[in-house]
Amino acid sequence: MSSDSDLDCYLGMRLSVAMDKTVSWQPNRFAGNHGARFNLSNASRIAEIVLSKYPKGATVKLNQHRKLVKFNKDRTIDELGQIDILPTIEKLEVNPTNLTPGMIWSGPFDGDTHHFCDNRFWAVNIKRRRCHWKSVPEELKSALERFKPLGGSFIITPWKHVIALIQPIPLPKEAQEQWKAFTKEQKRLVQIKQKSVEMLPIYICKMHDEWEIELDVPVDYSKPLSKQEIGDMLDFLKQFSDGSKSEPEPGAETKEEEKPDDVEEDWSDDEEFFDEEGLDILYTPSEVGGE
Domain boundaries, position 12? 2-89
> In this structure, are residues 199 and 167 in contact, taking their beta carbons and an 8 Å threshold?
yes
Confidence at residue 266, expressed as pLDDT on a 0 to 100 scale: 33
Residue 41 lies in a domain: yes
Confidence at residue 3, expressed as pLDDT on a 0 to 100 scale: 43
H helix runs in the chain, sequence order:
44-53, 138-147, 173-181, 184-197, 227-237
Mean confidence (pLDDT) of the chain = 83
Confidence at residue 173, expressed as pLDDT on a 0 to 100 scale: 80
Residue 206 lies in a domain: no
* Mean pLDDT in residue range 187-199: 87
Residues 6+ apart with CB under 8 A from 116: 122, 136, 141, 144, 148, 151, 152, 154
Residue 145 lies in a domain: no
Residue 135 lies in a domain: no
pLDDT at 286 over 90: no
Say what the pTM is. Answer: 0.78
Residue 263 lies in a domain: no
Residue 276 lies in a domain: no
Residue 236 lies in a domain: no
Confidence at residue 69, expressed as pLDDT on a 0 to 100 scale: 96
Confidence at residue 33, expressed as pLDDT on a 0 to 100 scale: 61
Share of the chain above pLDDT 90, in %: 56
* Mean pLDDT in residue range 190-198: 85
DSSP string, 25-90: E-SSTTGGGGT--EEEES-HHHHHHHHHH-TT-EEEEE-TTSEEEEE-TTS-EEEEEE-SS--EET
* Mean pLDDT in residue range 31-36: 64
151 vs 262, more confident: 151
Looking at the structure of the chain, the number of domains it has is 1
Residue 95 lies in a domain: no
Q: What is the pLDDT of residues 216-251, one digit of tens each?
A: 988 888 889 888 889 989 988 988 877 655 565 565
